Amino acid sequence: MLKNFGGSIAFTLVCLALAAVYGWFQTASLPATLSVLWIVVMLSVLEVSLSFDNAVVNAVVLREMDEIWQRRFLTWGMVIAVFGMRIVFPLAIVAIAAGMGPMDALRISLTEPARYEAIVSSAHVGIAGFGGAFLAMVGLSFFFDGEKDVHWITGIERVLARFADIKAAEIAILLFALYGVSLLLPADEALTFLGAGALGIVTFIAVEAIGTLLEMQEAAQKAAGQVVRSGLGGFLYLNVLDASFSFDGVIGAFALSNNMVVIALGLSIGAMFVRSLTLMLVRNGTLSEYRYLEHGAFWAIVALAAIMLISAHVEIPETVTGLIGAVLIGLSLLWSVRHKRRFPDSEIEEALRAE
């Protein structure tokens, strides 16, 4: 337990201490300070509940990386997650949307929290388009795979796997979905939504291309007898994926607070626990032990992507988002346990065949 979550617990204590100091400095009131601490705790719980499927998907990529890059994901990736997505990203939205400099955006976030919240929320259409498109590509690419021979929701997954040989089938489906949602939006928002969605698709393709190029380079180095232990492609992919997952958490945090410092502290604690949970899944071999857990996580991604795209037109509570992901992963875990009881030797046989 401490091996996997010791760093997260220590990080949590530091963040809570900072929250207490900040709360007391701002209010000089014990009840108000305790209220700040409570909001930070609730924000961290919100982040973990919305990102559990993120942890499972991260583990799928991370298990192929060596231990050095796993540690880098927990450290450097944490810096990107905290300062990049929980602080810099909202400030960048404010700066771009309001046409102001970064220092003015920072000043507004600290002195005019209501205005800061309003500006960030006004950019939701673009965020929904980009994040929804990227996550949809991640989820659909998993199911549009002709080599995938393990299926959970068999009727649907087998059909999708059969269409894997059709080039860019998942992109065509996503573009159709983007166009359908854009028809429900005003003209200016529709243009923003489509542009952001296209950028999300391009970002996914670019990250995949970088990973492929790095894999080709590593294969050439291995053929030449060199020792290769690089996981840079996976590292980049994981951080873009984490950024897409964090969009709903950052926007949803304003339901509890519009204070940038409080939001950053709370979401950072949650992000740290998600990373520790990812490493625990990898080190304990949980994905191999539970046959359909990976499928449940990717179905949760598809569901989250659909919710993000639809949220450009209809407001959907964050509790619904988190609940759908938790239900899908819970069902896949239940089916995995049932399969393991019915076929206790199947995992061993599959491992022997793989060897």
- For the question of whether the overall pTM of this predicted structure is more than 0.85, the answer is no
pLDDT score, position 179: 94
pLDDT score, position 14: 92
DSSP 276-312: HHHHHHHHTTHHHHSTTHHHHHHHHHHHHHHHHHHTT
pLDDT score, position 354: 42
pLDDT score, position 219: 63
pLDDT score, position 225: 53
> What is the DSSP secondary structure assignment for residue 166, as one 8-state letter?
S
Name the residue type at position 48.
V
pLDDT score, position 132: 87
Which candidate, 135, 57, 4, 82, places its Cα nearest to that of 270? Answer: 82
Angle between helices 2-27 and 30-62 (to 10 degrees): 150
How far apart are alpha carbons 107 and 99 in whole angstroms?
14
> What is the DSSP secondary structure assignment for residue 165, as one 8-state letter?
G
pLDDT mean values, one per 10 residues, the chain (355 residues): 76 91 87 88 77 74 74 74 73 77 84 81 84 86 81 85 82 93 92 91 83 68 52 72 69 72 85 81 75 84 87 79 78 86 62 40
